[in-house]
Amino acid sequence: MVSKTKLGLIGRNISYSFSKKFFENKFQKLMIHDHSYDIFDLQDIDEVERLFAEPGLRGFNVTIPYKEKIIDYLDELSGEAQDIGAVNCVSIENGLKKGYNTDAFGFEKTLLLHLKPHHTSALILGDGGAAKAVQYVMKKNSIPFTTVSRKSAVTFDSLDSETVRQHPIIVQCTPVGTYPKVEDCLVFPFEGISEKHLVIDLIYNPEYTRFIIHASEKGAKTVNGYYMLEQQAEKAWEIWNFQKK
């Protein structure tokens, strides 16, 4: 009997995830019959220890809220995961558990597709694992940025429309507005947004968050997280297959 290669996604309350369908479609298209992709909904990161004991586990993706917490359970990090301090892809080869960050790859592809010469500085909303990948890409591309979070120098309460006007790239990295809470939206001075802005919301479900809708009403170029998600998944597939060779 052929042993199955297992892949999957870990996170909390992630039944809505796109990844399972994406990879199952890929297996079908490539006529791969010995792979499975499962959702591992963990209420606590400690539960990952049980997952590591699964026979045939080749690797998994990591989503909210474990992108930073997973690091303590790994043997090694790639260069970019080390720099970012967050992991969204894990490969397992001969028992060695290595963490990667393919969010940075996906976000950079998205950003460069839409970047214009006047997009010279950014506001990054949030400071979790996804925001860290975005910060890494901004540094790599020499784009100065300001992070807005509950703990940073500029908070959501202190952010004003003038600061928004001065930062023509806005990247929304928080989970606020994700399905099923689609009516939720960050408190944000949308009056500072104009047609010169590029607004990227990393959420892909729903396709148009309240944040994206409000920004587009002000004339901004708006982009959701779907392309980034697709690209980071392709990169993960590349990593898992490279590890196999």
Calculated CA dihedral for residues 26, 31, 32, 38, nearest 10 degrees: 40
Per-residue CA distances from 66 to 13, 72, 125, 189, 190 (Å): 12, 11, 19, 30, 30
Q: Is the peptide bond before 180 cis (omega within 30 degrees of 0)?
A: yes
Give the CA distances from residue 116 to residues 144, 217, 227, in Å, rounded to whole numbers and listed in that order. 15, 20, 18
> Measuring CA to CA, which residue among 122, 119, 92 is closest to residue 236?
92
Catalytic residue among 20, 21, 67, 69: 67
Q: Is 21 annotated as catalytic?
A: no
Active-site residue set: 67
